[in-house]
Structure 1
Amino acid sequence: MEFKKFSIGNVTLYQGDALAVLSSLTEQSIGAVITDPPYASSGASALTKAIAPSKKYVQSGQKKSYPEFQGENRDQRSFCFWSTLWASECYRIAKDGAPICVFSDWRQLPTTTDYLQAGGFTFNGIVPWDKTESTRPAKGRFRAQAEYIVWGFKGRCVTEKNPVYLAGSVRARVNPKEKLHMTGKPIAVMDHIIKIVPPGETVIDPFMGSGSTGVSAINAGLSFTGIEASPEYFALAKERLIEAYKAYTEEGA
């Protein structure tokens, strides 16, 4: 399967299918995996699974529109099998001791902890992301106020490479004015997660979306490799990461 490639400095971006791109990358070449894959979690039937992401994740009355994205319509078994495939490829290209952090919602949390381990990684824990009370209230039940970062390593953590002490949770609201993707994560959240990456390493995000992982990686002085299937989101992320890279290099000049 063909894919496009763009590079600027230590930032490399691919527009194409994640599995196709990952399978082309060199073994033991990546220092960390940080990604927010499609959750494929809304809806319990084939009919509701087929609904477009914009119908699942965009609140009614919201004026801002976003491009659709792929991978949301898999059933539970195919989601787990597909996720194991890309996690296995990430394991192959990751260096020994490389951390992995994968976002999930509450529905797919058990499956995410499973496919992470099925892909070969050691499962070390879960970081809750508290989206604050700004999330939509739910009458008679609890707010869906949290998402989760499932994390681990390829093998064991080599603490000498990155002797940091990180908080086990993060609290940050979603600001609609800053969002460039309908499920985009705040930079404040990504800045916290990126701290697990040892200095000088390359971070890969196989589901780059609007490039938030890349922005945090660049600002932390890390190399970044991003993959995105959607041409619309790839173009958006490319422009955003070019700006971030130029701003970072100009500040360091």
Structure 2
Amino acid sequence: MSIYQHFRPEEKEFIDQVLNWKEAVENAYAPKLTDFLDPREQEIARTIIGNQTDVKIDFFGGTDGTERKRAFLYPEYHQLAADDFEICLYELDYPKKFITIEHPQVLGSLMSLGLKRGKFGDILVFRDRIQFFVTKDVAEYISLQLESVGRAKVSLIQQPIAHAIQLQEQWQEIVVTSTSLRLDTVISAVHNLSRQKSQMFIQQGLVKVNWMIIENTAFECRESDVISVRGYGRLKIISLDGKTKKERWRITAGKVK
């Protein structure tokens, strides 16, 4: 039985990467630290490594409740410690009285530095405070290169991990029905949009499923999928509860409040 049949075809490349990490730990009998992974990548890695005794895996993103986390694969002899994850926390210092900075601006400025998305963890925004996590190997480079966000001049203050802003997302559970599990029909059902509008969002690259841009309107949704539509927030398919008498799918979903 092939391991790939449990996942979507587009996830094959990442599956191969996880298998290579596992093999490297087994052969070298030494730990392997990854960049930040999104929750779907974490789920795939956890599933592949499983509960093996020879290779173990743990995840940490800097604080409780973070979405993006680094994976640490290690042989059973290794005693895991928080320092193993090599994460740094920065806070933006900027003229708060005169300027408002938002999450997309921070991410855009970080990505403009020429680094991969995996080098950055969660961006934490609470009122006028903004923090973000980075991998230790690029922390000094970022502190030297990041001089502005949007039109604001900024400087970075390194903070102890323990001083990270604590955020908790609240999810509202809803039950909807949909004519099919196609991405466009699910979005229409959950957000009460016309199918034409949902298709437009998808075709314009404004929709992500499990943190990947999906431009195929007929993409089939599954249980546990996280779907984000720019401007409408995120939803998670909690469960598929069978069909109604009218042959419509009954879907239990969670929407971020």
TM-score normalised according to structure 2 size? 0.29
TM-score normalised according to structure 1 size? 0.30
Higher strand share: 2
